[in-house]
Chain A
Amino acid sequence: MSLWIGVGCFVVVALVFLLVPLWRQKSALAGRHDARRWPTMGLLGALPALTVGLYIYLGAPGILKEQALTQAQSNYDVDGMVKALEDKLKATPNDPDGWYALGRAYIAFSRYADAEEALRKATTQAPQDARIIAQYAEAMALKQGSLDGRPLELIQAALEISYEEEKALELAGLAAFQKENWAEALHYWRRLLKLLPKVTEHHEAIAQAVLTAERKLDIRLGGTGVPLPPPPAEPKKAPH
């Protein structure tokens, strides 16, 4: 819309450049009004029509709408989805997967307290789902700013349920890394790396983290290539 206002302004300015000199000429044309009227009317008709016509033919008037649409879609979708999910869970609160999805969405919006609350509900409804427990741990850790304490307990609990839980492996590795237990961090992350699909950003990020940890370990061991200390024992898989 504002584009067309701009087009209108341009046409008016162009007409001013043409019509002001025409109407300021007095001497030779004094009294002969139609000598001015026809050019004026011609220009008033032709200039706007040609400008708009040529622009529609040559330009990309649609691009503004498309750009705006793309912009709005990317905003609208997430907001709308969260809203829809909240409404749905209000109606049918017994839905652990729903609470899990809502919790992740809250994390994406940095609403950690809401995320913790949503995921708490999810864990009470599905206490044996390692994926949900690990996510709950992350939300809690993000809220309190540390993995120590309850989040770490939850991560361990998740790993006891499933030793292939990706989020739990990632967080367990991170917790170990933060405590400078390089070998332990490597253990979790290498395991995680095997599970992740290759050629994804996540895979690359973890591979990078593995490299960092390896370098740290190597430095601590003085680069002697001493074999790594044994990893923490793999717990038996809990029967489902």
Chain B
Amino acid sequence: MIPELGHVALIVALQLALLQGILGLVGASRDNAAWRAMARGAAGGQLLFVLLGFLALIWSFLINDFSVMNVADHSSRFLPVEYRITAAWGSHEGSFLLWTLLMAGWTLAVVILGRKLPADLHARVIGIMGLLSFFFLAYLLFTSNPFMRLHPPPANGSDLNPLLQDPGMIIHPPLLYMGYVGFSVAFAFAIAALISGKLDAAWARWVRPWTLMAWVFLTLGIMIGSWWAYYELGWGGWWFWDPSENASLMPWLAGTALLHSLVVTERRGALRVWTVFLALVVFALSLVGTFLVRSGVLSSVHAFALDPLRGLFILVFLCILIGGSLVLFAKRAGAVKVAGDFGMISRETALLTGNVLLLAALATVLLGTLYPLILDAFGLGKISVGPPYFNAVFVPMMVPVLLLLGIAPWMRWGRESLPELLRRVRWQALAAVLIGIALPFLFEVWRWQAALGLVLAAWMILTTISGLIARRQSDGGLPLAAYGMGCAHVGLAIGIIGMGLVSAYQSEKTVAMQPGDSASLGQYEFVFRGAEEVPAANYSAMRGTIELKRQGQAVATLLPEKRIYRSAQMTMTEAAIRYGFVGDVYVAMGEPLAGGTWSMQLYLKPFVGWLWGGAILMALGGLLAALGLRSKGVRE
């Protein structure tokens, strides 16, 4: 009964989304206030019904209703309750339902928070978001229905993928999707601007807070995903250049570029066409990323062949969306008044250069991610593109971006004299180089990766903070958004310290240990006290006990586990981690050897936590900026 009602709720939501789209767009172009009001009402109703559908699915998971195919395929009686709830978005179908729910949520936020916008722009944005929702609901209902039924139902389900049975996985997808879906607001604003031809500084001011919020969520989502990979996959890596990670990095890079070009458009009225273009690109990349990850193409490009309707639906939609918006862009971009004159050396140029470099870096990621898939799809052979490619191509492109990041806030809008600029930042540059070169001597060996990371980070931190101080003195105060910028830039610098130091100084060791054995790594001594069996509801685990000593003093007891999940017959490694400010100690159990001996992997990961700490600061900075802009907008 409940699953059927959930199904009906989605059908009602589908119609409301279509009405929202048509009434919004037609109401805007015919200047019909009643239709615009109906579009707003439809948006509210759509959220209600998608939410009902989502709750119905969660309910089916909670009560183990295996007559719902999605439940039978992704849950089991032995699955703990909290994972039964999250299993609702652990599947292809469920994750698109979550996407649709978040989309409806963002739409309602636009309906409520955008009341002060010009009526036609507001209605167009709502209308475009309605059409996007309509597509997702149609995709859900016609090709990926989460409420497909089984009769008679199986006695038990086939359980949730053990990799997803983890707290990190509870929040990672919703955060990521909040980011992806949030960029649909910027997309809708861009399309609305192209339709009306009105694209000015005011437009950029409206879009900025939305883009910032989406970017904040995406940053946090990527951060949680990276942290999850670190502790869950059992070897302490934090970024693998895996296609599913790249799928989230690409919209993030484009989104970062969009944030900065929006600043130029808002403050100077310049780069309008470029900004609109970026807004289209960010959302298109979000869609491509979602489909890449969720469609199964990554595990096999032939996954689509199993369900051609899904693939066709996605391809047609992407063609309409990307092709349509680019055609609209090509036809209408000429109508957008080009304004804002700036010199070769100016803050505009610095931001634009940063933008272009970000997009170039993005292109290298896109190539490295899609090219192997395309080759495979056409039967031209399998190649693997991994970290060596990305480290060699992507990283060098980011170095000038980071250098620009330090200098841009010091530059004047319009025109700037180079000698004057260099004079202003000369001390910061000198200090950064000295600090960066000196600090690695504190470690056992001096390594250039560490020095590079530290020089860049010191440069970013020094210029950002001194720039804010100087601006505060000259302007007699700072807006909240400026603190946000400072926080985000310092956060990025802290993340880079983490990346540089962990890649230069991490150490590892694989040892075979019998109970009572000890091994040493760095300043630590690891004493193995044996392994015992620990049963749990849906897996059984061997848990090792390792006493961690430093200079003879016991500092912690680490309990790594090797788990076998019953339903999937999958072995999982639960690493034991001692988190620390200056680095983590990381232990993973390997394979059991003869007679109570275990192979153990021991790692020291200096400063690795700074990576995620930096990402949190970046997100916090984005949030501050969004709040600052929003309150400024309200005051105006």
A and B together in one complex: yes
* A22 CA / B41 CA spacing, docked (Å): 9
CB-based contact B37/A63 at 8 Å:
no
CB-based contact A58/B42 at 8 Å:
no
Chain B residues with CB below 8 A from A22, complex form: 34, 37-38, 41
Given contacts A6-B1, A10-B8, A47-B12, 6 further A-B contacts (CB under 8 A): A3-B1, A17-B41, A17-B42, A51-B12, A59-B8, A63-B67
| B287 interface residue (CB < 8 Å to A) | no
Q: Taking beta carbons and an 8 Å cutoff, which residues of A are in contact with B?
A: 2-3, 6-7, 10-11, 13-14, 16-18, 20-22, 24-25, 27-29, 35-36, 39, 47, 50-51, 54-55, 58-61, 63-64, 66-67, 70
- Select A14's contact among B15, B32, B149, beta carbons within 8 Å: B15
Residue ID in chain A nearest B32 by CB atoms: A28
Number of A-B contacts (CB under 8 A): 100
Residue-wise interface mask of B (4-16) relative to A, using a CB-CB cutoff of 8 A (1 in contact, 0 not): 1101110110111
For chain B residues 137-178, which have a beta carbon within 8 Å of chain A? 141-142, 145, 147-149, 151-152
* A16 CA / B49 CA spacing, docked (Å): 13
Minimum distance in angstroms from A168 CB to a CB of chain B? 34
CB-based contact A18/B38 at 8 Å:
yes
| B45 interface residue (CB < 8 Å to A) | yes
* A28 CA / B35 CA spacing, docked (Å): 11
Minimum distance in angstroms from A18 CB to a CB of chain B? 5
Chain A residues with CB below 8 A from B40, complex form: 21
Minimum distance in angstroms from B537 CB to a CB of chain A? 25
Minimum distance in angstroms from B204 CB to a CB of chain A? 30
CB-based contact A59/B147 at 8 Å:
yes
Residue ID in chain B nearest A2 by CB atoms: B1
CB-based contact B152/A17 at 8 Å:
no
| B19 interface residue (CB < 8 Å to A) | yes
Chain B residues with CB below 8 A from A16, complex form: 45
Chain B residues with CB below 8 A from A60, complex form: 4, 148-149, 151
Minimum distance in angstroms from B179 CB to a CB of chain A? 28
| A16, A36, A60 pick with most chain B CB within 10 angstroms | A60
* A35 CA / B32 CA spacing, docked (Å): 10
- Select B33's contact among A2, A28, A51, beta carbons within 8 Å: A28
CB-based contact B15/A51 at 8 Å:
yes
Interface of B (DSSP majority class): helix
Chain A residues with CB below 8 A from B9, complex form: 10
- Select B34's contact among A2, A21, A58, A67, beta carbons within 8 Å: A21
CB-based contact A10/B41 at 8 Å:
no
Interface of A (DSSP majority class): helix
Q: Sample 27 A-B pairs with CB under 8 A, ordered by A number.
A: A3-B1, A6-B5, A7-B5, A7-B8, A11-B12, A13-B45, A14-B12, A14-B16, A17-B42, A18-B19, A18-B41, A21-B37, A22-B37, A47-B12, A47-B15, A50-B11, A50-B15, A51-B8, A58-B11, A58-B142, A58-B145, A59-B147, A60-B149, A61-B4, A63-B151, A64-B4, A67-B67
Chain A residues with CB below 8 A from B49, complex form: 10, 14
* A39 CA / B42 CA spacing, docked (Å): 14
Residue ID in chain A nearest B142 by CB atoms: A58
Chain A residues with CB below 8 A from B141, complex form: 54, 58
CB-based contact B34/A63 at 8 Å:
no
* A61 CA / B8 CA spacing, docked (Å): 10
Chain B residues with CB below 8 A from A28, complex form: 32-34
Minimum distance in angstroms from B5 CB to a CB of chain A? 5
CB-based contact A59/B151 at 8 Å:
no
* A24 CA / B36 CA spacing, docked (Å): 12
- Select B8's contact among A6, A29, A36, beta carbons within 8 Å: A6
CB-based contact A35/B15 at 8 Å:
no
Minimum distance in angstroms from B252 CB to a CB of chain A? 35
CB-based contact B8/A55 at 8 Å:
yes
| B11, B40, B45 pick with most chain A CB within 10 angstroms | B11
CB-based contact B34/A25 at 8 Å:
yes
CB-based contact A63/B4 at 8 Å:
yes
| B564 interface residue (CB < 8 Å to A) | no
| B48 interface residue (CB < 8 Å to A) | yes
Residue ID in chain B nearest A4 by CB atoms: B8
CB-based contact A3/B4 at 8 Å:
yes
CB-based contact B11/A3 at 8 Å:
no
| B44 interface residue (CB < 8 Å to A) | yes
* A21 CA / B1 CA spacing, docked (Å): 31
CB-based contact A29/B34 at 8 Å:
yes
